[in-house]
Chains A and B, each alone.
Chain A
Amino acid sequence: MANNREGIGMLSPYRVLDLTDEKGFLCGKLLGDLGADVIRIEKPGGDPARKTGPFYEDDPAPEKSLFWFAFNTSMRGVTLDIEKPEGKKLFKRLVETADVIIESFPPGHMDKLGLGYSDLEQVNPRIVMVSITAFGQTGPYRNYKTCDIVAWAMGGYLYVYGDVDRPPIRISHHSHAYLHTAGEAATGALMALYHREVTGEGQHVDVSVHESSARLDMTHKWDMTRVFLRRGEWLGPVTFRACYIWPCKDGYVMWQFWVGPAAALWTMPFIKWMQEEGVTDDFIKGIKWVEIDTGIEEGARLATEVLSRIEGLVMKFFSKHTKKELDAEAKKRGVMLYPVADVKDVVESGQLASRDFWRKVEHPELGTSIVYPGPFTRCSEADLAPRVFCRAPLIGEHNEEIYIRELGISRETLSELKQAGIV
């Protein structure tokens, strides 16, 4: 069903035309969840991204991509071939009443189609156009190709994480670089919209996957000391050791030992906990945690020595308990220990349940409803909190609603356009 807003949402007065591929999906979702009227425009037959899994009941059909479902909530959907003359005309008619266009074609593509910013500005001088590309509209790499692992590598975040005896590593499954990029695109779109409300001028926003990835900035060590950060080093030795991931009875927990002044608050309660469970020895009893702070290099050496000697004991301690047990006890004792949660743990989280985070979303086409992550904030005005207004659109689901009822095209014309592959 249509996401009938009735004026709900901070962005309810705005219409967004969404032409993006995976690089921009989250952008349309954020704007739609905030109340904007987002119209997703797909090629006739459906967007290629619908082939991306995982799938509902592992059935790789175009209307069953869980990836598509996840990142295209709160939108209506039409089909349109903007490469054909009739399609361009229809697109321009949509632009007349739109506030924002988001697209992620390669640099120059929309210009070649006669649908670049300078063209669409003629149609609607107030339009804000957000163009997402791999490396930006300009520059020596503008025609380079990207994918998540390439973006992650070039942005610098890849190099500094992973085991030292293996290649640096990305986050598995769908692209995080594209999620960050789409987040930046949403911010850029809203900045330009705000500016337009004040000045009346629209503008063109140039968002780059490369820059959005480099925003996860790992350059500080080089800039300050002319030594670059390597994996396995991470935060370094001054007041606390790099994060440890410890195996426990049924998975992993994250726990790090703090040395120096911070140890009194953050390490001693953990030591006490171990001792109360009888997991201790003379060496660990004798460690003066607060005093391990004798300058940067010396502190590192000492901390490493101490930690390698007690590692076995700490492993033994964790092996006796499950993630849940350790988490619960850590909370009681004010210890900064957290489980390495998997998706099951996340879905079962008591905190998320108490925040009423999950939402049932109707999928009438599947004859069921599915529980989704819900509002990404709470709001003092309940009506204005972002929400999943509706599930992602089916292919061409709102063609009639938008082309016939809103643009006034006749049913016959729509049928002809469909036959000609325009719609």
Chain B
Amino acid sequence: MSRRLLEGIRVADFSWAYVGPLTAKALADCGAEVIKIEGRSRPDVERAAVPPFKDNVPGFNRGGHFNSVNTSKRSLCINLARPKGKEVAKRLVAWADIVIENFSGGAMERMGLGYEVLRKIKPDIIMVSSSMQGQTGPDANRAGFGQHLTSLSGIVDLAGWPDRDPVTLGYYTDFIAPHFNLVLILAALLYRRRTGKGLYFDVSQLENGVHFLSPLILDYIVNQRIAGRMGNRVVNAAPHGVFRCRGDDRWCAIGVFTDDEWLGFCRVIGKPDWTRDAKFSTLEARKENESELDRRVEQWTLGHSAEEVMALMQTAGVAAGVAQTGEDLLEHDPQLRERHFYWELDHPEVGIYRAPRPPYLFSICQFDVRRAPLLGEDNEYVLKELLGLSDEEIAQLVIEGVLE
């Protein structure tokens, strides 16, 4: 068995919901030992409240999001409101290399677990606080979820049809922030190896989201242009869109960018007369007549399954792809299957479930993706083996309501 990428790295993970857990998941799947600090009275929202649950039956260990996003971690369930609970948390920080949290700004300080306190316990600790809008500023303490941030960062405004209201993109920014958290954590680990020093990062998910819009930000700064919604169109391709195919709500995305691709596209659809009309002979012309073009393309795609459209187009050198459902991805996608992207994990309460590995492969190192923990499953392991508490000390924590 080859060495894991992050073998020996220790993480005290206070985070909940998506951003922190997704960040910690990448570290855990790559071999770091990640202890997730949870509370029964203050459970991760993905355990307690967010569907889907296995077979639609709620339960702390039955959440689909939770079990997918918290693979390879261990669960310590303690009451952080109690002073002894905070003491346990601090002992865990003394054990850790990295601390991750994603509460709203100032929350860890208010709990008595802010960086100034933790660095006294572990001077070289690397701590990432990823909050919605940062630890400072007039809006630091505002509560919100990923969907609100996707709206606030300008991204929702860019999704939708030009003749309609913008559409929600769910908690989209929750997938942006982990990239930034991870490069910071890994860079800090490299820095610490060199210098022995730890660091604290006050990361704003809003700022991360805004970086994803940089070209449009610059367009406003320089040209005073406010980017609008373009549906599924782009300036440099036509046909370009999502076309209805045969079947119930089946779609295939197609993008034709170059003249060669246009010729390939026409061959695939049998070179009908309309493709020879000057209206469609250049990209510029196709853009001018794009509505008619889209209708004609869809007349063809409606006669084929989405899978056929993709296969035929790709063979002709045209980018095309099925708009895959959850079922398509988990049951039918041959590429993800071949590359073992989803792992089958055996869970005591939900049985077999699937979770993805990180989206990269290494020539030497392997992944070991393990099922998500049950709530408090690793209390004994963490307290006894990692922190060295005696049976009596542990019993005392139970009596005092610290261990939940």
Contact = CB atoms under 8 A, between A and B. Distances in A.
B165 interface: yes
A277 interface: no
Given A350-B138, A380-B115, A194 B68 contact: no
B227 A343 contact: yes
B304 interface: no
Contacts of A203: 362-365
A409 to B, nearest CB: 31
- Identify which of B159, B168, B342, B360 gathers the most chain A CB atoms within 10 Å of its CB: B360
B335 A139 contact: yes
B154 A346 contact: yes
B218 A168 contact: no
Interface stretch (A232-240, A304-312, A413-421): A232-240
A70 interface: yes
B389 interface: no
Contacts of A386: 184
Chain B: interface secondary structure?
mixed
Interface string B159-171: 1110011111110
A141 B334 contact: yes
A183 interface: yes
B391 interface: no
Interface in B193-214: 193-194, 197, 199-204, 206-208, 210-214
Nearest to B210: A373
B227 A205 contact: no
Nearest to A262: B49
Nearest to A192: B362
Contact of B319 (A145, A218, A339): A145
B383 interface: no
Contacts of A222: 325-327, 329-330
A50 B338 CA distance: 36
Looking at A141, A247, A351, the one whose CB has the most chain B CB atoms below 10 A away is A351
Interface stretch (A89-97, A150-158, A280-288, A395-403): A150-158
Nearest to B314: A144
A167 interface: yes
Contact of A245 (B166, B172, B189, B353): B166
Contacts of B76: none
B242 A205 contact: no
Interface stretch (B77-85, B251-259, B273-281, B284-292): B251-259
A418 B106 CA distance: 56
A99 to B, nearest CB: 10
B232 A169 contact: yes
Contacts of A56: 222-223
Contacts of B244: 167
A193 B190 contact: yes
Task: Give the contact-size bracket for chain B.
Answer: 35 or more
B43 interface: no
Task: Give the interface size class of chain A.
Answer: 35 or more
A171 interface: yes
A377 B255 CA distance: 36
Contact of A376 (B180, B197, B330, B363): B180
Interface in A296-344: 296, 331, 334, 336, 338-344
A350 B139 CA distance: 9
B303 interface: no
Contacts of B353: 223-224
B207 A150 contact: no
B219 interface: yes
B55 interface: yes
B325 A245 contact: no
B229 A172 contact: yes
A34 B199 CA distance: 14
A378 B167 contact: no
Interface string A368-384: 00111101111111001
Given A150-B253, A215-B359, A238 B51 contact: yes
Given A158-B253, A336-B144, A354-B137, A70 B184 contact: no
B325 A10 contact: no
A357 B257 CA distance: 36
Interface string A46-61: 0000001110111000
Contacts of B231: 169, 172
Interface in A161-182: 161-163, 166-174, 176, 179-181
A228 B199 CA distance: 42
A370 B212 contact: no
B156 interface: yes
Interface in B308-329: 314, 317-329
Given A149-B241, A163-B167, A296 B51 contact: yes
Contacts of A193: 186, 190
A204 interface: yes
Contacts of A252: 157, 165-166
Interface string A346-369: 110111101101000000000000
B63 to A, nearest CB: 8
A329 to B, nearest CB: 13
B321 A150 contact: yes
Contacts of B249: 230
Interface in B341-374: 341-342, 350, 353-354, 356, 358-365
B167 A173 contact: no
A194 B144 CA distance: 34
Given A71-B214, A340-B156, A206 B361 contact: yes
A405 interface: no
A37 B222 CA distance: 28
Nearest to A208: B359
A138 interface: yes
A162 B229 CA distance: 12
B159 A236 contact: no
A57 B242 contact: no
B133 interface: yes
Interface stretch (B86-94, B145-153, B394-402): B145-153
B167 A194 contact: no
A341 B338 contact: no
A149 B184 contact: no
B167 to A, nearest CB: 6
Nearest to A216: B175
Nearest to B191: A10
A364 to B, nearest CB: 16
Interface string B1-12: 001011010000
Contact of B322 (A145, A153, A228, A371): A153
7 contacts: A141-B314, A184-B179, A188-B358, A220-B64, A224-B56, A254-B151, A351-B206
Given A176-B212, A236-B52, 19 more contacts: A56-B223, A139-B339, A145-B314, A153-B242, A154-B333, A161-B170, A180-B175, A195-B3, A195-B365, A216-B172, A222-B326, A230-B325, A342-B154, A343-B219, A347-B220, A372-B217, A377-B184, A377-B202, A379-B201
Interface of A: 10-11, 13, 30-31, 34, 52-54, 56-58, 66-67, 69-71, 117, 135-142, 144-156, 158-163, 166-174, 176, 179-181, 183-188, 190-195, 197-199, 201, 203-208, 210-212, 214-225, 228-230, 234-236, 238-239, 242-243, 245, 247, 252-254, 256, 262, 296, 331, 334, 336, 338-347, 349-352, 354-355, 357, 370-373, 375-381, 384, 386
- 9 smallest beta-carbon distances between A and B, as pairs: A183-B179, A222-B326, A220-B64, A70-B214, A211-B359, A190-B186, A153-B253, A150-B321, A380-B200
